[in-house]
A = this chain, B = another copy of it.
Amino acid sequence: MLVPEEGIKVLSDEQVATLHETAMRICEEIGLDVLHDDARKLLAEAGLKVEEERVYFDRGFLMEQVAKSPARFTLLARDPAKSHEVGGPTPLWMNVGGPPFASDLEGGRRSGSLADHDTLVKLTHAAAVLNCVQTGAVEAMELDVATRHMDMEYSTIRWSDEPYATYGTSGPKARDGIAMAAIVHGGRGAIERAPGLIGIVNSNSPLVWDFKMVDALFAWAEANQAIAVTPFLLAGATAPVSVTGGLAQQVAECLTGVAMAQLVRPGAPCLYGSFFTAIDMRSGAPAFGTPESIYGVLAGGQLARHYGLPYRGGGGLASSNTVDAQAAAETTLMLWATVLSRADVVLHAAGWLEGGLTASFEKFALDVELLEQFATTMRGIGFSEEELAFDALKEVGPGGLYLASEHTMAHFKEWLTMSPLFTTPDFAAWEAMGSPDTRQRAFQRWRDLLASYEDPGVDEAVDQELRAFMDRRKREPVDPED
């Protein structure tokens, strides 16, 4: 067991208690702005002090609500065999989401398109180590911004039968996603029994819940969908410049979000989400792989468990503009932290580049390789007689060689990692090949992965209903609140 079930503890019990106390003081004494009338009404009815847009959440209320959110729940997949126990022994690993740009070695950096989105969904589906798709792998920039959330959601549903995270950046968009999930799973009743999607809500840090996000949160909670409440915290910009202060703020924003969801529908499955790093003060851009971001991932996991919630955190995050040593170092630093935190849900595990502005296909191949290696590492080593190898040691004996031994030949394919991406040709052979670096091999790797993709197909009636729904919604006027 590489990591204990409860993850690595980076905070003492006393430090957790101090963060909790500070967060409660933030909620009670500073309060949060909730820019959603229905939400404020509901919170006032629940007995909270509300002054104009400011809501003061008291700790008794918060902890009572948070306790209603389950520690585990089943997330449905289109292929029932791929439905997943969130909060169970294995995490959900997803592709990147949100970038406006796509990039690959041949096509260069470009505006994202639906074709790129389809490709990223197919790559995610084809990569065995990824078991969940995130809609919005790249923005389909050529499509109408008012309706493209549906085209991307359809791309996710059509090209993969794995569980998925929905797009929903507003109430109406969230409701479209819910309607599509209901079609996939045979009606709203089915997805109300077990969620058919994960929605992500970000508070507008510091300490603001804006209308769109609360509206999406309400939509998902009403439908009993999974909600990852994830403050997007950048120390020095949207959070104090100290990790400690940022964590206290994270607790305040997470728990108030979870509490609102529980108020709408007690038992709605919520996750404690952490997206926490600092900005690079030289550029103002978020920095990943830094000690601050590593602490953000690790402490977030510990806090999630403290509050009895599944944990969304970490990812293959990198700041670098290209798939170079910096990108790999940042990503590996973050993924190690993610694994050590025992995150339950990992967005942006593959393909994230340039601080999330670009979905890179070569980065995707690199990340999948790293995730495969972590998965093998997490499985641990075996202690069978054959693995203890006393007989092999005796047979080969002092001064022998294991290269061609029977024991080696029988087991090397199963027991040794031979990375298709990380290779070790000798220097002269490598020079003769034109000194290819990782990017060039990664280009080949994602193309091989894409070639291995098998279309899971889709039920024809479901497909027609999805298309009919989208056609109808595209003819309707755009919601003015959206």
A contact residues vs B (CB 8 Å cutoff): 1-3, 8-10, 12, 15, 18, 22, 25-26, 29-33, 54, 109, 204, 206-208, 235-246, 248-249, 278-287, 289-292, 294-295, 298-299, 319-333, 336, 354-355, 357-358, 366, 369-370, 373, 376-377, 380-383, 386-390, 392-394, 396-403, 407-408, 411-412, 415-419, 421-427, 430, 435, 437-439, 442
Contacts and interface: CB of A to CB of B under 8 A. Distances in A.
Nearest to A396: B206
A422 B289 contact: yes
20 contacts: A1-B12, A2-B10, A31-B398, A206-B393, A208-B398, A235-B416, A245-B389, A280-B418, A283-B424, A287-B417, A289-B373, A295-B381, A320-B424, A322-B435, A323-B325, A324-B325, A326-B423, A329-B369, A332-B332, A333-B336
A408 B282 contact: no
A323 B437 CA distance: 9
Given A294-B377, A415-B241, A435-B321, A422 B389 contact: no
B325 A437 contact: yes
A332 B327 CA distance: 11
Nearest to A354: B427
Given A283-B425, A389-B248, A325 B435 contact: no
Contacts of A377: 291, 294-295
Nearest to A363: B325
Given A376-B291, A389-B242, A398-B207, A236 B354 contact: no
Given A54-B398, A279-B416, A289-B373, 10 more contacts: A33-B399, A206-B393, A240-B408, A242-B382, A243-B387, A246-B389, A248-B393, A280-B416, A287-B422, A329-B370
A283 B423 contact: yes
A381 B439 contact: no
Contacts of A389: 240-242, 244-246, 248
A333 B381 CA distance: 18
Given A33-B398, A245-B392, A423 B383 contact: no
Contacts of A394: 29-30
A396 B241 CA distance: 12
- Max chain B C-beta neighbours (<10 A), residue from A25, A235, A320, A332: A332
Contacts of A401: 237-238
A349 to B, nearest CB: 15
3 closest residue pairs by CB, A with B: A245-B389, A332-B332, A207-B398
A10 B284 CA distance: 40
Contacts of A8: 2-3
A213 B433 CA distance: 39
Nearest to A374: B291
Nearest to A10: B2
A370 B381 CA distance: 28
Given A240-B393, A380-B10, A439 B325 contact: yes
Contacts of A206: 393, 396-400, 402
A18 B109 CA distance: 54
A430 B397 CA distance: 57
Contact of A381 (B204, B242, B417): B242
A437 B381 CA distance: 37
B325 A417 contact: no
Contacts of A109: 427
Given A291-B376, A393-B248, A418-B280, A402 B285 contact: no
A244 B382 contact: yes
Given A327-B325, A424-B285, A403 B236 contact: yes
Nearest to A339: B336
Contacts of A1: 9-10, 12
Contacts of A249: 393
B416 A278 contact: yes
B390 A25 contact: yes
A423 B355 CA distance: 11
A7 to B, nearest CB: 12
Contact of A32 (B207, B237, B286, B398): B398
Nearest to A429: B283
